[in-house]
Amino acid sequence: MRFRKLAAIAVLALGGTMLAASPAHAANIAANPGFESGLTGWTCTASSGATAVSSPVHGGTRALQATPAGNDTARCQQTVSVRPSSAYTLSAWVRGGYVFLGATGTGGTDPSTWTSSPSSYAQLSTSFTTGASTTSVTIYVNGWYGQGVYQADDVVLDGAPGQGQPPAAPTGLTGTGNATTASLSWSASSGATGYNVYRNGTRVGTATGTTFSETPGTGTHSYQVSATNASGESARSGAVSVTVGTGQPPIPAVPSGLAATVSGTSVSLRWNASSGATGYNVYRNGTRIGTPAGTTYTDTPGAGTHSYQVSAANAAGESARSGAVSATVTGTPPPGNLPKRVLVGYLHASFANGSGYIRMADVPNEWNVINLSFGEPTSVTSGDIRFTQCPVAECPNVESEAEFIAGIRAKQALGKKVLISIGGQNGQVQLSTVAARDKFVQSVGAIIDKYGLDGLDIDFEGHSLYLDNGDTNLSAPTTPVIVNLISALKTLKARYGARFVLTMAPETFFVQLGYQFYGPGPNGSTDRRAASYLPVIHAMRNDLTLLHVQDYNSGPIMGLDNQYHTMGGHDFHVAMTDMLLAGFPIAGNPNNVFPALRQDQVAIGLPAAPFAGNGFTTVAEVQKAFDCLAKGTNCGTYRPRGVYPNLRGLMTWSINWDRYNAFEFSRNHRAYLDGLG
């Protein structure tokens, strides 16, 4: 999140792609990119021993494995038809001592990149632009002399297919069946003008879109889909099985009698049972937020007027939705005794970098919450958190401790909240034992008491949080670093009472990525840190003052529209914030939903200046995003699931970088937020 040295920005820019799962691509024109069909489409050197193995893999069921021998680097390559004067991105997940990825015959500078990652998969990525007369390129992956076996998987050549080339095979095929009907959906293939649908190996229909339904008769059927255009037909997708009939009950009737009762910040729903239903789906403002087994549900949607519907479900499918009922929540005063709209800033209090040191007394009045950066552990697993002011050798203008504390008191007298932020880029904290948990509580409490602080900010990054295999229950996590952190936070909250301010600043990788991935996943192949903040946020949601996810230093993240969004523009902030305020199914599982947070609990996290972090967003784009979310106006291509008039505010890294950038962030956004009321 926050860089001790400017050079770290470049390091993250190079290495950041290793943190997030590879996004879906508009046009992967590589053949057999995941080696699911063995080495089909690939040519490998004779002495490489190249083969498709079932372990270790990055995705799917197979990966390439080859071994350099003598003067042979064990290169595997394929020639792909491309378009002249066109841009392409080449990426792959690789594992080995030294593994290279590149392309030749591009008509320009042939790209090549490499990494050393012998124990786990890492992603390589490069790009190139084809020459004016280039119609094909050769992409390759290889090891290095004497470095032993390597693996490669999920190769992507992203760009426009060459003239005369059929589209890529469709991906993401899913199917459901009810008493009479089989329904299919899949991801679009770039360049496709249509699709062929196969049942049990025989084509049974065509589609121009990415859905298809038929009534095939009772039984279990195997479906595949291919993509077509004027140049021909792609290979078929992987198969899915769909069961129709076989004694399934009919889809239940639409629930009746839906009613809503508001109590404080909660909405209690009840409805009449539908015969044959085994469960129900609850929708708020058109988005599913819960799947209760019974006929009641309680929601905490935040202030505003909300529309609710309910459907009934069983093994045969889902009924139509009920008629809508509205519920208006007036809300309660925002927690933490803060104003309705807040600016949160991190203050470099324990170190210096290119932005310079700011004395506490000199922090501008625009900021409502000041996070002292950082409290850090004596070791990763000790739980012993220490905070010291920046040393004079590093910060010549640092104030004395007495002046520092006096500055904190002066800010608090103006209604500001001053917190200790734990973690940051360098301060990894793993509370893997009960002893570490207890030391965390004791040492953090000592810092809060010494400086008279208002609360705590959790800025765990890197490998601080992760989920163990099999830890899939959002409400009952079992991984020690998660369980112990939740316990520690609840203890601190109980110790300091209702006025204790608790904030969190996770990266998108640890939160919104949960729409696709959660921990190591069912086959253990996903990064186990994926979405690992979610159980902490969920457990603390009733005590959480603010969640300001870092909408920067992020790879592309899929939004609720099932499209990938890239940092730096208003759509990214709208999509990422909408996920927090609408809720979302974790890893696509409708039975495991991360419920929406209250609007007053959410702020948008941003860099204060272009040199403060990757993903800087201009003042105009930030305010366009806030308009879309809070007022429903000025939206771009992404449309949020609701309007959120009580969206709380903005967070930035950092107060120091804002001053370095002539206060552009704080002065413009303070005036904007004050104007919203």
Which residues participate in catalysis according to the annotation? 461
Angle between helix axes 619-631 and 570-582 (nearest 10 degrees) is 30
Give, for 296, the enclosing helix (H) or strand (E): strand 296-299
Give, for 376, the enclosing helix (H) or strand (E): strand 369-377
- DSSP code, position 465: -
Residue 581 has phi, psi (to 5 degrees) of -95, -15
Pairing of strands 304-314, 317-318: antiparallel
CA distance 640 to 574: 7
The answer to whether 597 touches 580, Cβ cutoff 8 Å, is yes
Q: Is 444 helix (H, G, I), strand (E, B) or coil?
A: helix
Long-range contacts of 16-20 (CB under 8 A, 24+ apart): 16/553, 16/554, 16/555, 16/614, 17/91, 17/123, 17/125, 17/555, 18/122, 18/123, 19/507, 19/509, 19/527, 19/555, 20/509, 20/513, 20/527, 20/554, 20/555, 20/556, 20/557
Residue 241 has phi, psi (to 5 degrees) of -100, 135
CA distance 17 to 614: 12
CB atoms within 10 A of CB 234: 23
The answer to whether 548 touches 344, Cβ cutoff 8 Å, is yes
Q: Is 30 helix (H, G, I), strand (E, B) or coil?
A: coil
- DSSP code, position 613: S
CA distance 52 to 66: 9
Q: Which amino acid is at 280?
A: Y
User: Helix/strand/coil (H, E, C) string of 299-347?
Assistant: ECCCCEEEEEEEEEEECCEECCCCCCEEEEECCCCCHHHCCCCEEEEEE
What secondary structure does DSSP assign to 90-137, as a single string?
Answer: EEEEEEEEEEEEEEE--SS---EEEEEEEEEEEEEEEEEE--TT--EE
β-pair partners for 199? 202, 223
| CA R_g for the chain | 27
- DSSP code, position 602: B
With b for 16 or more beta-carbon neighbours within 10 A and e for fewer, the 506-539 pattern comes to bbbbbbbbbbbbbbbbeeebbbbbbbbbbbbbbb
Q: What is the dihedral of CA 484, 486, 491, 497, to 10 degrees?
A: 170
